[in-house]
Structure 1
Amino acid sequence: MIDLRAARTDPDAVRAALARKGAAEDFDRLLAADERWRSLVPRVDELRARTKLKGKPDAEQLEELQVVKAELKEAESGLAAAEAERDALALRVPNPPHENVPNGSTEDDVREVRRVGEPVSLEEPREHFEVGRFDMERAARMSGARFGYWVGDTARLALALYRFALDRLATKGFLTVLPPVLVRESALVGTGAFPSDEANVYELPADELYLAGTAEIPLASLHAGEIVPAGELPLRYVAFSPCFRREAGAAGRDTRGMIRVHQFNKVEQFSLTRPESSWDELELLLSNTEELVSALGLPYRVVVLPAGDMSSASAKTYDVEIWFPSQERYRETASISNTTDFQARRLMIRFRGEHGPELVHMLNGTAVVDRMALAILENFQGDIPDVLQPFGAPDRVAS
């Protein structure tokens, strides 16, 4: 959540920034609720002070004390209600975007940073599901739409891709993690996925658990409530996990093949840093992803997402988009974000700085994801990059 104390100091600047995410009205409601809460605090403090009598009270003082206690009970109830309203509204206010993030909310509003590699132009490009071996028909009979089996060499390609990324990042000092995929509500609130992305999360009501849509969610809670030793920063993790998304609102989009499905696998980078280091860390995570994509020989471009298309938690997000010949366009395959202190404030993750405990900054970024395997199938039409063969991938995929 945002730093409310700082927002009170310069509300106009914060409002203007949040307006770029379409959240100015939510911010104004939060400020109004915060003002109501703050206006009640002095009255509660006054009544509490009046309940503390010196010496043995006489009958008149006892009678007055009962009146004060009744007033205090009512005032405390009002204060608690105002605090609950303020806290609920605070969860709906996103992280303000960085000043160099472009305006807008659509894919046409991205700012292109660079292009790497020459897009493949094929006379008759086969789509990924024509090159690789997938079984979406049988998966649909079992699980419903937007699920699929990865079969044979295609499955081996995907597994090699994950191991390739995990090993590359381990050599860079990232600690490998296999996290839980079932999480409590607090983990989703902590990352900002709740309440902003509630519609896309699978719930298991009987167990009060949810299926995580990314390893970012369990990784963010790894140090929840802790004061991390300053000398250990930055803490860098790389995790493999299945990911689950309901894809609410995606009806009619990417219905062919495995581009947009409810279950996929991903290798995720995650960092905790000092605030002054987080923007350099964002560039490091981006360079890691670019290095992996370049090693695979895939043409791609890097863009900065516009303010209105970023996650609630992100202050700045880079997307790495890989070329898909069958669509003759770049498609998003990785997102790398700096959430500054937004998630750390919700999860209370701090380090002991020069002036006492301070919030860390938290960053996340895709290393590889299933969609990259689809891009390999389409760009090389069945041939597999040599870099993946030491990890168990075949020379060529047999469809």
Structure 2
Amino acid sequence: MRSISVFRSHRWQEVERLRAERNAVANKMKGKLEPSVRQALVEEGKNLKEALVTLEEDLVQLTDRLQQEAQSIPNITHPDVPIGGEESSIVRKMVGCQPEFTFTVRDHLQIGKDLDLFDFDAASEVSGSKFYYLKNEAVLLEMGLINWALTEVTKKGFTPLITPEIVRSSVVEKCGFQPRGQNTQVYSIEGSDQCLIGTAEIPVGGIHMDSILPDSALPLKYVAFSHCFRTEAGAAGAATRGLYRVHQFSKVEMFIFCQPEDSNMYHEELIQIEEDLFTSLGLHFKTLDMATGDLGAPAYRKFDVEAWMPGLGRFGEISSASNCTDYQSRRLGIRFRPFLSDASPANSKKGKGSAAPTQFVHTLNATACAVPRMIVCLLENFQQEDGSVFIPEPLRPFMGGLQVISPKFK
């Protein structure tokens, strides 16, 4: 990247030199001149213009390359983040214990087949692999989970949003994701500069793009519902079967804009909200402080929640909470203007007192409910010997009072 930066600097200097020469020629042409002198200046100006166009095109290309290289540089990490790959992550908390079954445990695919809750075969014919139809009580379960999560998080002072699900590629890049490339998780729309979102984090992050917020407005807390679309490039294996890893799903996402000194505090608040939500459903889960190799580009620190999935016989990720500090806000141009608490009488005069330098906000995001994996957890953990599935009490008001999903007999 340094060589590109140096080359761009040289090109910029050349562009500035030619612009100065062109301006000088333009100044010489003012007033009366001999025809031969004027013609010579016209030719010189024409040559300078052509050379300048070529250099400016090179400068644009170099700037784009430099921007792409810069966007590949990840955020710095919190000093307490464990160093290494995913296996180096540290367990922060363990909640609950594995359910005990006196019968043969079924995975969510078998449960869904027995209770007529999904149709993967028809969806594969209509849309391709890793798509699905939800049927019968599974539809109520998805809607119930969404409304439950939105209701509970809104009680915490978050503003509910429904976001656009198509965004500009530039916004995806500014949020720290790569919309192009061999293993991208982003669906790009051919012939446009737009993409389908992989998370509501992206459109919510862009809602205050290129803005200066008053410090009195912070923190801004949002909880957003959206559908999400991911290519899941490279995903394979038994652990990705069924609803665990799909191309389209519903999700409720929390997002916070705050002052820099508060972001660590709000990170703890977000993970606590997640833990409270999953505890209320009676899930067995662990919270992890993720190692550097699993953070992704935007995250300064990331906590993951992994829930026990009896059908898989292991823990599976159901949510994460990330503090992205000013990594996204610098790219998105989101600042705030601090309040001058020590304003003197001199500063209270007209034109004074509002000139505090702006700072970049910090951004944080966290998953309140990724619906398909929550359905996996609920079906597998609350399956009964008679083939039915018990509905956790907090969800029942959002599912018309339904307490049990029972087998259908013809």
Which structure has the bigger radius of gyration?
2
State how far apart, in whole Å, the 2-side matches of 1:46 and 1:363 are.
44
Whether contact under 8 Å (2:300, 2:325) holds in the other structure is yes
Partner of 1:224: 209
The number of residue pairs the alignment matches comes to 369
Counterpart Cα distance in 2 of 1:256 and 1:39? 53
Partner of 1:155: 139
Q: How does 1:1-399 map to 2 (within 5 A)?
A: 30-42=1-13, 44-45=15-16, 48-49=19-20, 66=45, 76=56, 79-106=59-86, 108-123=87-102, 124-132=104-112, 133-195=117-179, 199-206=184-191, 208-353=193-338, 355-370=356-371, 371-381=373-383, 382-392=389-399, 394-399=402-407
Q: Given the superposition, is the C-alpha separation of residues 157 and 77 from structure 1 closer, same or farther in structure 2, using an over 3 Å criterion? A: closer
Please tell me whether the aligned partners of residues 121 and 325 of structure 1 are also in contact (alpha carbons under 8 angstroms): no
1:81-109 Cα offsets, whole Å, 9 max, x none, are 43333222112222233232222233x22
- The one-letter amino acid of 1:239's match is A
Instruction: Please list every run of 5 or more consecutive structure 2 residues that lacks an aligned counterpart in the other structure.
Output: 340-355, 384-388
The separation in 1 between residues aligned to 2:156 and 2:43, in whole angstroms, is: 69
**In structure 2, the residue corresponding to 1:278 is in which secondary structure?**
helix
1:69, CA displacement in angstroms?
A: 6.8
Deviation at 1:350, TM superposition (A): 1.4
1:346-389: per-residue Cα shift (whole Å, max 9, x none)?
A: 21111123642221111111001121122111111111111111
**Structure 1 residues 185 and 81, CA gap change in structure 2 (3 angstroms):** closer
Cα distance between partner residues in 2 of 1:148 and 1:299: 26
Residue-by-residue CA offset, 1:31-81 (whole Å, 9 max, x unaligned)? 332233335545554555565558869869969975877776666555444
Query: Residue 37 of structure 1 aligns to which amino acid in structure 2?
Result: R
- The 2-side partners of 1:94 and 1:195 are apart by 16
Pick closer, same or farther for the CA change 1:192–1:326 going to 2, 3 Å: same
> 1:268 is paired with a residue of what secondary structure?
strand
CA contact (8 A) 1:286 1:336 kept: yes
Q: Secondary structure at the match of 2:390?
A: coil
Q: TM-score, normalised by structure 1?
A: 0.83
- CA shift in 2, pair 1:68/1:300, >3 Å: same
In structure 2, how many angstroms separate the alpha carbons of the residues matched to 1:112 and 1:350? 34
Q: Secondary structure at the match of 1:376?
A: helix
Asked if the contact 1:156–1:394 (Cα under 8 Å) also holds between the matched residues in 2, the reply is no
**1:378–1:73: structure 2 CA closer, same or farther, 3 Å change rule?**
closer
TM-score (norm 2): 0.81
1:153–1:398 CA contact under 8 A, matched in 2: no
Question: Structure 1 regions of 5+ residues with no counterpart?
Answer: 1-29
8 Å contact from structure 1 (residues 345, 359) kept in 2: yes
The amino acid across from 1:315 in the alignment is Y
CA separation in 2, counterparts of 1:362 and 1:213? 18
C-alpha spacing 1:82/1:200, structure 2 compared with 1 (3 Å) = closer
Q: CA 1:32 to 1:276, structure 2 compared with 1: closer, same or farther past 3 Å?
A: farther
Shift of the 32–207 alpha-carbon distance from structure 1 to 2, 3 Å rule, reads closer
- Secondary structure at 1:199's aligned position in 2? coil
Question: Percent identity at matched positions?
Answer: 36
